[in-house]
Amino acid sequence: MSKQDFLGLIGEGTNRWLGMDASYGAKHAWLVRHHGKPERCADCGIQGKDTGSIRKVWNIQWANISGKYFRDISDYRPLCISCHRKYDAKDRCKQGHLRSKENTSFRRIDGQRFCKLCNRRYQRNYEIRKKNGKTS
Ligand SMILES: [Zn+2]
Ligand SMILES: [Zn+2]
């Protein structure tokens, strides 16, 4: 499997992931050095193994919990590639904010879920633009 294929598979093809990738790489190396490769997925319980035919890839990754990538193992959970992807899609907005109950709301118009932190930031930027007379 090519690197491109692999990144596509685990959903690292988007800008969000490209941005996180650099810090993730370094932190991940630190995690593996200090804590080894995760043995089991904390969600589905499958056992870790090498996957990929060209480049061997360990199928269980350290998933970050807080989104801040602390150098602390309690901020990470071992998840397999597919659980990691699900976890990511489910629990984080596009900007990586945690989708907690408090931080999640629904649009009145179409019922779509949105991140309050992002919404607040958006509103603030809008207010600033308005003040500067840049809305037209
Ligand atoms: Zn899993
Ligand atoms: Zn957000």
pLDDT tens digits for range 103-124: 988 888 888 788 999 999 999 9
SS3 109: coil
7 and 73 together in one domain: yes
29 and 78 together in one domain: yes
Model pLDDT, residue 12: 42
Q: 114 is in which domain, residue-wise?
A: 93-136
Model pLDDT, residue 17: 44
Q: Residue 26 Cα, ligand 2 centroid: separation in angstroms? A: 24
Query: Looking at the 3D structure of the chain, how many domains does it have?
Result: 2
59 and 70 together in one domain: yes
Model pLDDT, residue 125: 92
Q: Nearest to residue 76, comparing CAs of 90, 68, 64?
A: 64
Q: Residue 79 Cα, ligand 1 centroid: separation in angstroms? A: 5
Residue 136 corresponds to which tokens in the numbers above? 């037209």
SS3 43: coil
- 46 alpha carbon, closest ligand: 1
> What does the angle CA 8 – CA 14 – CA 17 come to, to the nearest 5 degrees?
95
14 and 47 together in one domain: yes
Whether 2 and 54 have beta carbons less than 8 Å apart is answered as yes
- 113 alpha carbon, closest ligand: 2
Q: What are phi and psi of 27, to 5 degrees?
A: -65, -35
Q: Residue 121 Cα, ligand 1 centroid: separation in angstroms? A: 33
80 and 99 together in one domain: no
Model pLDDT, residue 67: 73
39 and 19 together in one domain: yes
Q: Residue 91 Cα, ligand 2 centroid: separation in angstroms? A: 10
69 and 98 together in one domain: no
- 59 alpha carbon, closest ligand: 1
Please give the model's pTM, rounded to 2 decimal places.
0.50
Question: What parts of the chain have a pLDDT lower than 50?
Answer: 8, 11-20
Task: Please count the residues of the chain.
Answer: 136
